[in-house]
Structure 1
Amino acid sequence: MTGLSAASTLVRDATWLAHRYDPGHDAFHFRHVARERRSEVPFLTDDYLGHEAGPIVVERNDCATAIAGQQVTPLHFLFHSAYCASTMLVQAIGQPGIATGLSEPVLLNDMVGWRRRGADPRQHGRVMHDALSLLGRGFGGDHAVVIKPSNIFNPLARGAMTLRPEARALLLYAPLRAFLLSVARKGLGCRLWCRELLENYLADGFVTFGFDARAYFRQSDLQIAAVGWLAQQQAFAALAAWTPERIATLDSETLTRAPGDAVAAAMAHYQIPMADDIISGNPALSRNSKSGAPFVAGERQRDLAAAEAAYGAEIDQVVAWASVLAEQAEIPLTLPQPLALP
């Protein structure tokens, strides 16, 4: 593994992405990902970036020493509950000279997996601090770094905010019905993903609705999706109440109806200076964030309307059932502290 000299070179150059953490060797893996490449892919994962056969491996202590003397770029978070246009938002904010956006870096997924495998909490906190420092290296001229973790990271959101007391966060979510419509129309793969997400949240102790393990086998795919949504909504409400001065909330339908206004409001919340052309000339607002295809105004609303026609009756039942759970657990279906749009 390379030493302090190499670490110093790497941490000065934001194109070297801190990509993985190896707890067995207490080392970070770096791979070279130019800004242009990051803007081409929805997520900073191997599925989209391609497999890196020869990452540069650096011991964590060398990374921590090297970054200690670096200028600190303000770091903020975009936490989300899936299917809510979060990728579009982080790409819209992450423009040259404005901010560095990171969409679902694998390094934070490694933090989740290591914790599930029984990492010592104190050591996990130290490594998380260093991981956030490495991810928080902005490109030259940018005013901030905005990280959008995967929503599997949500159980660690409060810990991340504690480690970065100056950080602000935006909690982005799809309303329950819109979320379920997205799950239904995306098909079997999405339904299976919702089951996997809930399985992981149960392992994290993130679900507190009193069902025993057998009860989940008797629930439909959309009920499982609703339970996962409720767990995230409950956590987001608690997070917003914990540090209200640092957190605002936004729902996907507001974002997609007025994306320019929402981007401007998000940047104001993050205290990022906004260039005059950040909205009118922003490429992220004119393309599909996943496929890169040109975006057609109203596309999301038409997709949801088609799903409503096909699955509306089933979703009516699930929304009614989930609403009772929400009332019993005192979970707000609409989050407080909404982002103030211009």
Structure 2
Amino acid sequence: MITDRGDWTIARVPAHSTAMAAAPLPLLDATWLAHRYDPGHDAFHLRRVPRETHRAATFLTDEYLPEDSAAPLVVRRAEARAAAPAPAPLHWIFHSAFCCSTLLARALDRPGAAMGLKEPAVLNDLIGWRRRGDPGPDLATVLDDTLTLLARPFAPGEAVVVKPSTIANGFAPAVLTLRAESAALLLYAPLATFLGSVAKKELEGRLWVRTLLTGMLDDGLARFGYAPRELLALTDLQVAALGWLGQQRLFTELVERFGPSRVRTLDSATLMARPREALAALATLYRLRFDDAALDAIVAGPAFTRHSKFGNAFDAAARAAEHRDAAALHAREIEVVVRWAGEVAETFGIALAAPAPLLG
């Protein structure tokens, strides 16, 4: 049963799908993905997902993971945590969508150094559970155990970098508090580019930004004083701009609360113009072992030369041309909404360029 939508569908976990695993469990290595969480039974659904499947999947959701004839391993939360190996360093890419976040998570798949987890569905489950207000165990404790399961390394010495879906950004303060050693990159597209991406996706993109803003209102991340009737009167791109501004305000609050030694920001235009510098700075933030040869290989590799979602050849020039086409087609609407959003940002003291940039 579908109960909410954000970047991707949030569905209730089927409570009757399979039986609980018998204890004691063997050590649950990183190939056992903590895929879903069922608050009714306080249990994780684990799926066998080897590294190659992680690499090939656009996102770690049912839509993109290959069909598996085997039922998931359903393990009570306490038992799953007890069976997890020692955690790896855990870091984050929080993003406001359409900003090369999937590209960056793919780039961090470097055996021996790091592995990027792309939008694990289990975090969507926790957000959906919180928004519905369903009964269950203490959310902070469940989130803490979820972080332990996400932090299982694929190889000795590796870090894990999680790129949640945008709908999970409301968890950012909690996860950075629960894991004091974690660092986070806050990634966003310039507003005009973001609006062009929304418009380019036509009906799907325009519906998505309305659903996103609804969730942000539930999470207290879109406090702009609009009554429900006033929000309904806004155009699709105005709604998109309010969501973007809410993310920018959250990013500023995260930098102020946790400091630039742990939290830095980056816009997608800078990432694509200076990919090697951005990766080197990100490796420093995350304390990853990326030497010059590794940086050169990543920039020349598929993350920066192929489309993150479709796999076709797609480099920085192709990306820029796509954005130009979208901007030209919707130029008047984007121009009007950018001007309006600037006035909203000024009223609420929101910086259009986030503080503590990763690159000077």
TM-score per shorter chain, which class?
over 0.9
Could you say what secondary structure the match of 1:170 adopts?
strand
1:66 matched to 2:53? The reply is no
Of the structure 1 ranges 206-215 and 283-292, higher mean CA displacement relative to structure 2 is found in: 283-292
User: Is 1:126 paired with 2:136?
Assistant: no
Rounded Cα–Cα distance in structure 1 between residues aligned with 2:31 and 2:136: 30
Q: Please say if residues 78 and 147 of structure 1, whose CA atoms lie closer than 8 Å, have aligned partners that are also in contact.
A: yes
- Structure 2 residue 320 is matched with structure 1 residue 305: no
Could you report, residue by residue, the CA deviation over 1:137-188 in whole angstroms, capped at 9, with x for unpaired residues? 0111342110000010011110111111110000001111111111111211
8 A contact 1:185–1:307 mirrored in 2: yes
State the shift of 1:274 in Å: 0.6
**How do 1:1-342 residues align onto structure 2 when only pairs under 5 Å count?**
1-6=20-25, 8-9=26-27, 11=28, 13-52=29-68, 54-67=71-84, 70-118=85-133, 123-244=138-259, 245-282=261-298, 283=301, 284-340=303-359
Q: Would you say the 8 A contact 1:14–1:137 is kept in 2?
A: yes
Instruction: Note closer, same or farther for the CA distance 1:88–1:35 as it changes in structure 2 (3 Å cut).
Output: same
SS in 1 for 2:295: coil
Distance 1:327 1:36 in 2: 46
- What's the TM-score, normalizing by structure 2? 0.90
Query: What's the C-alpha RMSD, in Å, of the aligned pairs?
Result: 1.6
**C-alpha distance 189-142 of structure 1, shift in aligned 2 (>3 A):** farther
Contact 1:75 1:145 in 2 (8 A): yes
Q: 1:174 to 1:254 in 2, by over 3 A?
A: same
Deviation at 1:217, TM superposition (A): 1.3
SS at match of 2:329: helix
CA shift for structure 1 position 122: 7.4
Contact 2:187 / 2:265 at 8 angstroms: preserved in 1? yes
The SS at the match of 1:100 is strand
Amino acid of the structure 1 residue aligned with 2:319 = R
Match of 1:97, SS state, is coil
Residues 15-43 of structure 1 show CA distances to partners (whole Å, capped at 9, x for unaligned) of: 11010000010000000111111111221
Instruction: Spell out structure 1 runs of 4+ moving beyond 6 A.
Output: none
Looking at structure 1, the residues matched to 291 and 47 of structure 2 have their Cα atoms a distance apart, in angstroms, of 30
Please say if residues 74 and 167 of structure 1, whose CA atoms lie closer than 8 Å, have aligned partners that are also in contact.
Answer: yes
Distance apart, 1:296 and its partner CA? 3.0
For residues 224-282 of structure 1, the C-alpha deviation after alignment (integer angstroms, 9 at most, x for no partner) is: 10011011111111011101121011000001112222122111111111144323323
For structure 1, which runs of at least 5 residues remain unmatched after alignment?
none
Q: Distance in 1 between matches of 2:74 and 2:312?
A: 36
Q: Do 1:93 and 1:267's aligned partners in 2 also have CA atoms closer than 8 Å?
A: no
Which moves more between the two structures, 270-279 or 35-44?
270-279
Does structure 2 retain, via aligned residues, the 8 Å contact 1:3–1:59?
no
- Shift in Å at residue 297 of structure 1? 3.5
Which whole-Å CA distance do the structure 2 matches of 1:153 and 1:236 have between them? 13
Deviation at 1:94, TM superposition (A): 1.9
Q: What is the rounded CA distance, in whole Å, between the counterparts of 2:291 and 2:53 in structure 1?
A: 23
Give the percent of matched residue pairs that are identical in Structure 1 and Structure 2.
Answer: 46
Structure-1-length-normalised TM-score = 0.94
Give the Cα separation in 2 of the matches to 1:201 and 1:155. 8
Partner secondary structure for residue 49 of structure 1? coil
Query: 1:121–1:215: structure 2 CA closer, same or farther, 3 Å change rule?
Result: farther
**Aligned equivalents of 1:114, 1:87: Cα separation in 2:** 25
Q: Distance in 1 between matches of 2:33 and 2:180?
A: 23
SS of 1:48's equivalent in the other structure is coil
1:109 Cα deviation after fit: 0.5
Mapped to 2, the partners of 1:102 and 1:17 lie a distance apart of 10
SS of the counterpart of 2:352? coil
User: 2-side partners of 1:256 and 1:186: how far apart?
Assistant: 21
**Following the alignment from structure 2 to structure 1, what is the Cα–Cα distance between the partners of residues 102 and 288?**
18
- The answer to whether the 8 A contact 2:198-2:206 is kept is yes
Quote the Cα distance in structure 1 between the aligned partners of 2:205 and 2:155: 38
The structure with the greater share of residues assigned to helix is: 1
Task: Give ranges in structure 2 of 5+ residues lacking alignment.
Answer: 1-19
How many correspondences in the alignment? 336
